[in-house]
Structure 1
Amino acid sequence: MVDEGDLRLLGPVGIWRSGRLLGPATPQQRSVLATLLLSRGQVVSLDRLSRAVWGQQPPVSARNAIQGYVSRLRQLLAQTVDVGLATASPGYRLDVDPMRVDLYRFRDLAGRARTSRPERAGDLLREALRLWNGPPLANVAGEWLRETFSVTLTEERMTAVEELLALDLDSDRRRDAMAELSLLMSEHPLRERLAYLTMTALHQEGQRAAALEVFRETRQRLVEELGIEPGEELQRLHQQVLCADPPRTRASSPEPVPPTDVKTGTRVPAELPRPVYGFAGRGQELKWLDDSLTGEDRVCVLSGTAAMGKTALALHWAHREKIRFPDGQLYLDLRGYDAELEPLTTAAALNRLLLSLGVDTTGVPGGFPARLGLYRSLLAGRKILLFLDDARSETPIEQLLPPSGSVLVTSRHRLDELVVRCGARRRSLGPLPDPDARALVDGVLGTASTRQEEDARDELVRLCAGLPLALRVAAANVAARPEASTTAWMTELTAGNLLAGLVVDGTGNNPVMTAFSGSYRALSATDQKIFRALGGVVEADFTAEVAAAAGEVPLAVARASLKTLAAAHLIEHHATDRSRFRFHDLVRLYAAAEAARTPAWPAIRQCPSDLEFLDSQSPHAPPDVHFWGSAVACC
């Protein structure tokens, strides 16, 4: 028991201290507490709190009643420590250490178990499951909270139970595990994972007939009650038993079978890739996502320069908020700017989504329109998150939009047509502020030990100009050195060229250059030419007239090209003068490098310094336009 107070969701909702229940006293107050805990650290609107208490038909006095419930909750929470319930427009925010809440302790223990050795994993899972005291949210008011969250929470518990049973089957707890499996199969006859474990255990015991009978009964129930066949993994195991193939040595290692929604018979996908470790900052952007994807079926676009951390931010938010999407999370990499693979076609993307939903696309007739109709039918009315990563254009996104649920898109392009035609919300991601960039570096390297090291890290943050990928590469290279000294590595980096120096040690790979090159390759030949030309312009910002002179093109062509480059986040508008544009520091270095590599650009020559100016002799350059050579070309 946690002396300073336990906050519980996994069973009856309540606040406990030293083994004693403090409250809340009424179901309505418990609904408010549960909603705030489920959105820990985020602002929860009064409308959502009202829905949690009364469903879709709140009384006229709902706002005043919610304020009263919050006031009484504050009195209860005052008896614990380090818990804050703040008023924050348009509602309230509960700030609490996640390890004080049974749900988040459960998730932490279950997550650690998945990366631990089997003996330790079993102990962690047993500790996690002991936190459950009955059905989740058992004593809240109304049905909205339970209908929205209980299925997902119960699924998390059953997944942990199945993982523990798989481990126990490979230990001296085998007999107990088999007995528990028998009981669970009678309670959950449609869970294919339980059937898989039961069949595996019986097969390992030499009881082939019994294992085959489990498959027969499970298949019959799935067909009769849901109208579906068993999944691929269960059918593969059935064939192994039929052929008397040796069973797996570890029952805990089958390929996972996505859970099935017993109401609809469709799979509940959980496809989010692993989040980026050491994520830092982006508080305003996370709040924007919270506000934009709460309560309604919305489309949100995160756009920004290559290597700006769009996918990392989207993944961080999606993992944090996946409980909002009890019907699953679909993920698809559209490969818009992949260095080696062509962008995913809309038809291929649709086929992958159907496979994720458990559909055998080889048996769907009628081509693309029929499959698109099936896809929309499967997702109609479902609270699902569709994460479309690295989009290059609006076309596949528009066609793949589900009839309900939320869509999160990342792209290097602004995708303005999605805003116009689909009502999407869009936010451009800028560089990390210096404090957040420094937090990212410190997260990789630990606390600086000397003042000299502090100053070196601040200089590293300045040179990388808030670009998360550049910061990660630099910090990783420092961490890989035996002396782990930013000071020593910075001396080496600044002796050469910054962009060329951002190579991952021992690989020869420059992730930042690779990311920028994907955006550059997507441009037309004219836009590429102007981009290269602008890489040689000395001024911190520039106009269309400067671009026309530098690129030796008509002014109208230069204006159109600047709009294209801005939409692709290769340049940006000046903060106070929309007629002027500017580069991110590292993108400028890349543009200069491309100019130096391109024979068609004679005005730039190699030089020993990034800031060595050239006396331009170009007849197309006005007197106030100067050009400089990039040290990238000299290194």
Structure 2
Amino acid sequence: MTVVGKTTTRFNVLGPLEVWHGDVLVPIPAGRSRLLLAILLLRANQPVSADELVDRLWDGEAPNPDRAKATLQMVVRRLRQSLGPAKVVRTAVGGYVADVPPGALDLHRFRELAAAGKYAEALELWRGEPLRDVRSDVLHQVEVAPLLEEYLVVLERRIDADLDAGRAGDLVAELRSLTGQHPLRERFWGQLMLALYRSDQQAAALAAFRAVRATLVEELGVDPGPMLTDLYHRILRDDVPGGSVVMPSRQALRHVPPEVSLFVGRERELAALDEATLEPGAVVLLHGIGGVGKTALALSWANRRRDRFGDGDLHVNLHGFDAAGRPVEPASAAEALLVSLGVRPEDVPAGLAERTTLLRATMAGRRILLVLDNAADSDQVIPLLPGTPTVTVLVTSRNQLRKLAAHQRVTCAAPRSTTSAGSTRRSTGTTRRSKPSSGGWRSRCTSAIGGWRASSSRTSAACTSGLDSTPSPSSTIPARWRSRRSRTMTTGRRRRTSTSRSACSASTGTRRRRSTVGERARSSRAMATTTTPRGLSASSRRRRGRWAGSPKRSRCCVRGSRP
């Protein structure tokens, strides 16, 4: 509880939004002030960016985008005034945060009691649908839906504890109501069948199986899972063991690709991912510019933290920014996930809504990491979110996906570039004393570039191109780099163009024919054009070409060359 002076402050979100300052209920004005407080409390002690708050408060349609942040400050000011001495909203870097100490928020107490196995006490904290007096469709779809799933998981565990304690007869009425409210949740049906069987109602237990099978076939076009099927056959044989409904043992799913072998560094981002995924059912967004290494970072973290996800990990490449193809549709991605989870392809429903419903039911209660890689926008990701506290979702994208209610947003920034030779050695893993072999990454990249004398940071980036994908051979280096051999003219001692060689002496000192003024002008113009920095404007490049093409400049360029 928050202590203000000698008075404690409590915040309740598991039901209507309430703020209690001692024994006094603090009135919160309806509208955006109430919505702002709800958003901050659901992510208590976690900074929320101003851009995301603006997007959520106005559902992506701010009245005046140029003054959106100023309008947000007015909403924050009104909220602080209404909270009075119970104010907990603090300005953070780039946004705001609700500083809530342990025990002051009912959602935190609910999770602590559930983790301690005190399921009945945890469920008593619920006063109805969370935040039902806060008007926001996006909030209820993205934030409240996972809370309801979390509630159902704890409720299932409480019923299992009651079955173990021998209170099967007292559970039949409650379970009939739960199966009516959640007809696609097989765990409740299994608990009902077990409670009926232990209450000497074997025929009713078998009828419950037939009812759930008909519902699943009609709604989703699938048969009951192995847990219900096994329990049905055991009831037929009158061979049901004691205890609660036992889920069949599953082999851990390991679908995340292996870690990239050249991955180095990124300790700060790895630590940020560790912290961001501590909250149950967290949705974490890893965003950054293209080619910066988001995929490699996500795969490296997923492989290093596999022990946290006992039921496995799943990976889907959504191809959001592939130049050769279209982004993967959510329906296709859901189908791929269902097949990965063991659903037969012929049992996968046709529509997106049916597929996502079956996906949530299949993943419920399983400790899984779901990696949604290379997402184009929020609409591609939101239908695939399982909304269960046991599943952690990691999304990578070039965009910030403002509509996605991510618990944390981790920025994958580009590493600092440097032109020192040590930077290439650090990036490629070579030491100062060791001479790179001819078959090394830098040698292959340099040969593929065509002898282009790039800066060490550019060559390092080419050599470590595997940071955003698996390492590729030199044959896959972009053609625009390989073509630079024909376009780039270097001024070093070892290489010259044929035109400059015809005008200058070779290393042996043999005198060659003197080139004409026109040849020298063309050679100088080519040199000036190919070595012109990219940042120059078109007019600057034309002036540079005219100046280099003059006879006087040509004589200077040619005569100044030495073997």
- After TM superposition, the score normalised by the length of structure 1 is 0.48
Q: Deviation digits for residues 335-370 of structure 1, max 9, x if unmatched?
A: xxxxxxxxxxxxxx9987233567313667xxxxxx
* Residue type at the aligned position of 1:547: P
Q: Shift in Å at residue 14 of structure 1?
A: 2.3
Give the structure 2 partner of residue 293 of structure 1: 285
- 8 Å contact 2:123–2:155 — kept in the other structure? yes
Q: Which residues in structure 2 correspond to 1:496-515 (within 5 Å)?
A: none
Q: Shift in Å at residue 6 of structure 1?
A: 1.5
Q: 1:101 aligns with which of 102, 105, 124?
A: 105
Give the structure 2 partner of residue 332 of structure 1: 314
Q: Shift in Å at residue 214 of structure 1?
A: 1.1
Give the structure 1 partner of residue 381 of structure 2: 405
1:20 aligned onto 2:49: no
Q: Secondary structure, in 3 states, of the residue corresponding to 1:127?
A: helix
Q: 1:253 aligns with which of 246, 254, 257?
A: 246
Give the structure 2 partner of residue 264 of structure 1: none
1:40 aligned onto 2:44: yes
Q: 1:547 aligns with which of 436, 451, 460?
A: 436
* Residue type at the aligned position of 1:108: E
- Inter-partner Cα distance in structure 1 for 2:245 and 2:220: 27
The structure-2 alpha-carbon separation of the partners of 1:409 and 1:36, relative to structure 1 and needing over 3 Å to count, comes to closer
- 8 Å contact 2:35–2:57 — kept in the other structure? yes
CA RMSD of aligned residues (A): 5.6
Q: Shift in Å at residue 172 of structure 1?
A: 4.6
- 8 Å contact 2:109–2:122 — kept in the other structure? yes
Q: Deviation digits for residues 507-549 of structure 1, max 9, x if unmatched?
A: xxxxxxxxxxxxxxxxxxxxxxx99x9867548xxxxxx4259
Q: Shift in Å at residue 137 of structure 1?
A: 1.0
- Inter-partner Cα distance in structure 2 for 1:291 and 1:354: 20
The structure-2 alpha-carbon separation of the partners of 1:553 and 1:331, relative to structure 1 and needing over 3 Å to count, comes to closer
Q: Shift in Å at residue 162 of structure 1?
A: 1.4
Which range moved further: 398-407 or 168-177? 398-407
Q: Secondary structure, in 3 states, of the residue corresponding to 1:24?
A: coil
Q: Shift in Å at residue 568 of structure 1?
A: 4.7
1:74 aligned onto 2:58: no
Q: Shift in Å at residue 426 of structure 1?
A: 8.2
Q: Shift in Å at residue 44 of structure 1?
A: 2.5
Q: 1:427 aligns with which of 409, 412, 416?
A: 412
Unaligned runs of 5+ in 2: 257-266, 317-332, 383-392, 400-409, 416-424, 451-458, 468-563
Give the structure 2 partner of residue 92 of structure 1: 96
- 8 Å contact 2:284–2:395 — kept in the other structure? no
Q: Deviation digits for residues 230-256 of structure 1, max 9, x if unmatched?
A: 233222222222233x21321153249
- Inter-partner Cα distance in structure 2 for 1:143 and 1:350: 23
Q: Secondary structure, in 3 states, of the residue corresponding to 1:138?
A: coil
- 8 Å contact 1:11–1:134 — kept in the other structure? yes
- 8 Å contact 2:375–2:381 — kept in the other structure? no
1:146 aligned onto 2:44: no
Q: Secondary structure, in 3 states, of the residue corresponding to 1:332?
A: strand
Give the structure 1 partner of residue 165 of structure 2: 171
- 8 Å contact 1:330–1:353 — kept in the other structure? no
Q: Which residues in structure 2 correspond to 1:467-506 (within 5 Å)?
A: none
The structure-2 alpha-carbon separation of the partners of 1:199 and 1:535, relative to structure 1 and needing over 3 Å to count, comes to same
* Residue type at the aligned position of 2:90: L
Q: Shift in Å at residue 138 of structure 1?
A: 1.1
Q: Shift in Å at residue 564 of structure 1?
A: 6.8
Larger relative contact order (Cα-Cα within 8 Å, sequence gap ≥ 6): 2
The structure-2 alpha-carbon separation of the partners of 1:228 and 1:555, relative to structure 1 and needing over 3 Å to count, comes to closer
Q: Which residues in structure 2 correspond to 1:308-323 (within 5 Å)?
A: 309=301, 311=303
Q: Which residues in structure 2 correspond to 1:152-551 (within 5 Å)?
A: 152-244=146-238, 246-255=239-248, 282=269, 285=272, 293=285, 302=294, 309=301, 311=303, 331-332=313-314, 353-356=337-340, 359-361=343-345, 378=355, 387-388=370-371, 404-405=380-381, 408=394, 427=412, 537-538=432-433, 546-548=435-437
Give the structure 2 partner of residue 601 of structure 1: none
Q: Deviation digits for residues 68-114 of structure 1, max 9, x if unmatched?
A: 33113334556248x4521432x32223235422122212322x24x
- Inter-partner Cα distance in structure 2 for 1:363 and 1:295: 35
Q: Deviation digits for residues 241-272 of structure 1, max 9, x if unmatched?
A: 2233x213211532499xxxxxxxxxxx9x99
Unaligned runs of 5+ in 1: 114-120, 258-268, 273-279, 320-328, 335-348, 365-370, 390-396, 411-417, 431-529, 540-545, 570-635
- 8 Å contact 2:168–2:196 — kept in the other structure? no
The structure-2 alpha-carbon separation of the partners of 1:282 and 1:305, relative to structure 1 and needing over 3 Å to count, comes to closer
Q: Shift in Å at residue 305 of structure 1?
A: 8.8
Q: Shift in Å at residue 377 of structure 1?
A: 9.8
- 8 Å contact 2:172–2:192 — kept in the other structure? yes
Give the structure 1 partner of residue 13 of structure 2: 9
The structure-2 alpha-carbon separation of the partners of 1:294 and 1:305, relative to structure 1 and needing over 3 Å to count, comes to closer
- 8 Å contact 1:305–1:429 — kept in the other structure? no
Q: Deviation digits for residues 459-478 of structure 1, max 9, x if unmatched?
A: xxxxxxxxxxxxxxxxxxxx
Give the structure 2 partner of residue 29 of structure 1: 33
Q: Shift in Å at residue 63 of structure 1?
A: 4.8
The structure-2 alpha-carbon separation of the partners of 1:102 and 1:547, relative to structure 1 and needing over 3 Å to count, comes to same
The structure-2 alpha-carbon separation of the partners of 1:199 and 1:256, relative to structure 1 and needing over 3 Å to count, comes to farther
Task: Give the count of matched residue pairs.
Answer: 382
Q: Shift in Å at residue 387 of structure 1?
A: 3.6
Give the structure 2 partner of residue 49 of structure 1: 53
Give the structure 2 partner of residue 126 of structure 1: 120
Give the structure 1 partner of residue 464 of structure 2: 566
Q: Shift in Å at residue 166 of structure 1?
A: 1.0
Give the structure 1 partner of residue 404 of structure 2: none
- After TM superposition, the score normalised by the length of structure 2 is 0.53
- Inter-partner Cα distance in structure 2 for 1:169 and 1:67: 52
- Inter-partner Cα distance in structure 1 for 2:444 and 2:342: 54
- 8 Å contact 1:13–1:140 — kept in the other structure? yes
* Residue type at the aligned position of 1:85: R
* Residue type at the aligned position of 1:35: I
Q: Secondary structure, in 3 states, of the residue corresponding to 1:92?
A: strand
- Inter-partner Cα distance in structure 2 for 1:140 and 1:109: 26
The structure-2 alpha-carbon separation of the partners of 1:331 and 1:379, relative to structure 1 and needing over 3 Å to count, comes to farther
- Inter-partner Cα distance in structure 2 for 1:377 and 1:555: 48
The structure-2 alpha-carbon separation of the partners of 1:534 and 1:216, relative to structure 1 and needing over 3 Å to count, comes to closer
Q: Shift in Å at residue 139 of structure 1?
A: 0.9
Percent of pairs with identical residues: 29
The structure-2 alpha-carbon separation of the partners of 1:281 and 1:24, relative to structure 1 and needing over 3 Å to count, comes to farther
| Bigger Cα Rg | 2
- Inter-partner Cα distance in structure 2 for 1:94 and 1:254: 39
- 8 Å contact 1:299–1:408 — kept in the other structure? no
- Inter-partner Cα distance in structure 2 for 1:175 and 1:377: 34
Q: Shift in Å at residue 300 of structure 1?
A: 9.3
Give the structure 1 partner of residue 506 of structure 2: none
Q: Shift in Å at residue 165 of structure 1?
A: 0.8
